[in-house]
Amino acid sequence: MPRIYINDWPPFSPPDQSRRNNVIEAAKLIVNAAMTAPNAGGVSQVEAEIVYGMEEQEQIARKMEELAHEESQEHISHLYKYEAVMVREADCIVFLGDFRAIETPMDAGCGFCYGVDDCRWLYTKHPSYMGLIDATDRRSKTVVKGPLCGVRVQDFGYAIGSALWMAYHLMVDARPYYTVGVAGQKLGYCPNSPIVVGILLAALSKNPFVDVNTAYHLVNMSKLIDAVRKTYILFRQSGGDYRISDPWAEIFRERRKKEKKEEK
């Protein structure tokens, strides 16, 4: 009879991989929830990617660490570094992007982006021809090449919220991250979107995205385990050989001595 044995330790072992596979199945449903979220006029505008695996997650985490060191503001730099740890601890990552936020805005004169009742801010900040925005120049001095269409941003929020609602109902821990989205976008995930958010997912006994301590990039489970591996190996060498120092061996030796005496 087929059996699926599940255990979250050691990470990426076959029993842990079975558990992660469950989260990947959940991620697919979570993406569906994002796709069916409310939006203005029912216009398709959200793209998604599901990413998992040790190498893939490590690549995203390293990109975040790279961004941390390019960032001049310390509080943001810390966000990148701390949240990179969470990327490594996650089981799976869902990237969501809104591909209409610049190129095909709502054109509703809603006031979200500039506080006026027309779309002048978007159309004067991005090159356009007869009301058609040319978004081919993707270079940007800022993290996001704004301005973005506010109605699209609102709808993007609906998609993220719906994704998280589904995650919570599937009892999968989830949180949305700006930093993960920025790194993912730079690595080419959700390639058509000028704004991307990364949702980290995990089904572990302890939610890895909450109760996060200060200096998390230096003080976290992985570092502590590594510290044990590093120090205990030395500590082991500071003790005697078990064949000699084990108190049970001593008792055994005493008993043998006694038995030999009696034999004589």
Partner 1 sequence: MSIKFEELQEETLLDVAKLCAAAVLKAPQITGRVKFEMEILKKEELPNLIEALMILGRLHMFCMLSAAAYSTALQEGKPVVILLIGASGLRQSELNWNCGACGFKTCGEFNAYAKTIKEPPVGALIHGPVCNWKMIDYAQGCTWACATAWANNITNRIEIASGMAAKAIGYLEHCDVVHGLPLGPMEELYWYSRRFINQFMSYDLWKERLQEMFGVLFQTFVGDGRTDLKITDDWWMQRHTSKVQPVSMEEYEEMKKGIARDIEDLKKRVKGGK
Question: Interaction with partner 1 in 243-262: which residues (CB under 8 A)?
Answer: none
Among 80, 82, 95, 177, binds partner 1 (CB under 8 A): 177
Q: Which is nearer to partner 1, 23 or 110 (CB)?
A: 110
Among 160, 170, 200, 203, binds partner 1 (CB under 8 A): 160
162 forms part of the interface with partner 1 (CB under 8 A)? yes
Scanning 6-14, 80-88, 155-163, 215-223 for contacts with partner 1 by CB under 8 A, the matching segment is: 155-163
145 forms part of the interface with partner 1 (CB under 8 A)? yes
116 forms part of the interface with partner 1 (CB under 8 A)? yes
35 forms part of the interface with partner 1 (CB under 8 A)? no
Scanning 2-10, 110-118, 226-234, 249-257 for contacts with partner 1 by CB under 8 A, the matching segment is: 110-118
Q: Which is nearer to partner 1, 51 or 122 (CB)?
A: 122
Question: Interaction with partner 1 in 46-75: which residues (CB under 8 A)?
Answer: 73, 75
Cβ partners under 8 Å of residue 204, min gap 6: 8, 89, 91, 173
Burial of 44 (0-12, 13-18, 19+ CB in 10 A): exposed
Site string for partner 1, 178-217 (x = CB under 8 A): x----------------x-x--------------------
105 forms part of the interface with partner 1 (CB under 8 A)? no
Q: Which residues bind partner 1 (CB under 8 A)?
A: 37-38, 40, 73, 75-76, 108-117, 121-122, 125, 140-148, 150, 153-162, 164-165, 174-178, 195, 197
